[in-house]
Amino acid sequence: MTDVILTIMPALNTTAAHWNQSGMEEQKNCIDPDVWHALTSSQPIYMAVITVLGVVLNAFVLLVFCLHKKACTVAEIYLSNLAVADLILVSCLPFWAINIANDFNWPFGVAMCKVVNAGIKMNAYCSIYFLVLVSIDRYVALVHPMSHGRMRRPKYAKIGCLLVWVFGLLLSTPTLVFRTVMHFPEYNVHACALDLPSRTLMLLRDVILIFISFIIPIVIISFCTVKIIQSLKKRSVERFSAEQSEQKATTLVLVVLGAFLICWIPFHINTMADILLKAGLIGGCHLEAVIDICEQIFVYLAFFNSIINPILYVIVGKNFRKKAQEVCKQWPLSSATTASTRSNTSATLRTFT
């Protein structure tokens, strides 16, 4: 990144500064101060809104899935874990909002610096692979419903989710190891930054992560999505009326996938441009400024995805709306049942006294 202050923002793939063979190299500021101020001044408010909406909406999704009488389907297991990942992300954002309001002086200590940023990282990695799992599930359900039906069991879905969480934690290990609170005397701040030991390691890490967290899952999701759409078109032509619930679930999944790609692809493309910049394959102060500004905008577009999924469940997901209505009906019924039980018990006691 061009400016050290830019790199201590919660951007997912940034480091404390550019590196050369002798160590940290201070870079000139390519961004107009007024532009930078406009970017940072609105971010705490935006993160506060994202936090409140994200916690409420994702908690609502989890309550519906957990309190409903029927067990979750395979797709719902994946979507509920996606909601957990989004809940983790929005729970980490208030720390960064306070950090920005505090002029980028990190007030929470080294441990929270590591944990908060690892939580943000895990959301990015786990979210994409939960969508990979749900894409594969939809692919199997619609394209190979007979031959691979045994694979689509809740038991295997839970194991898959556990593996994704472990995988996300492993990918977040560099954040846990190298994130620390560093003093930048030129800005008079103690910032939470990623302190990688060499430029080579920085570039290697970024290239590996862009393949693992973007290119590979996008290829898998794209393949499954194309096959799913082809299958849906074929069934529509044939007026195939069976397995309507599978098709409804698939429609919801496709919409969620589309929203995820819209929110995250700009960030990953900008990250690839940043890798080329760090590698010296492209350059120029104006280009650096554009990449830095885009990173600050696109990372918050990516964060917005954490609140849009629950909204899509309500708008598109007919089965989810039905479950939510049934869960809401359970509460007053439960209260009425409890009141009736207490009344009967009281009447019985009066009879024997």
Backbone φ, ψ for residue 204 (5° rounding): -60, -45
CB contact at 8 A, 48 and 306: no
Given the DSSP bridges, would you call strands 189-194 and 19-20 parallel, antiparallel or unpaired? unpaired
User: Which amino acid belongs to residue 23?
Assistant: G
Length of the chain: 353
In whole angstroms, what is the distance from residue 5 CA to residue 99 CA? 12
Packed helices 109-143 and 244-278: angle between N→C axes, nearest 10 degrees: 130
| Global pTM value | 0.80
What pLDDT was estimated at residue 102? 86
- For residue 149, the model assigns a pLDDT of 60
Contact 161, 77 (CB under 8 A): yes
pLDDT at position 85 = 92
Could you give the angle at which helices 318-351 and 43-67 cross, rounded to 10 degrees?
A: 60
pLDDT of residue 323: 83
> What residue ranges define each of the domains in the chain, with the CATH number in brackets?
32-327 (1.20.1070.10)
Q: Give the whole-angstrom CA distance, residue 139 versus residue 227.
A: 7
For the chain, list residues with pLDDT below 50: 1-28, 239-242, 333-353
pLDDT of res. 210: 87
- What is the per-residue pLDDT for 348? 38
The answer to whether residues 2 and 289 touch, using CB atoms and an 8 Å cutoff, is yes
Q: Is 224 helix (H, G, I), strand (E, B) or coil?
A: helix
Cα diameter, the chain: 91
Cα separation, 101 vs 75, whole angstroms: 40
In the chain, DSSP finds a helix count (H) and a strand count (E) of 12, 4
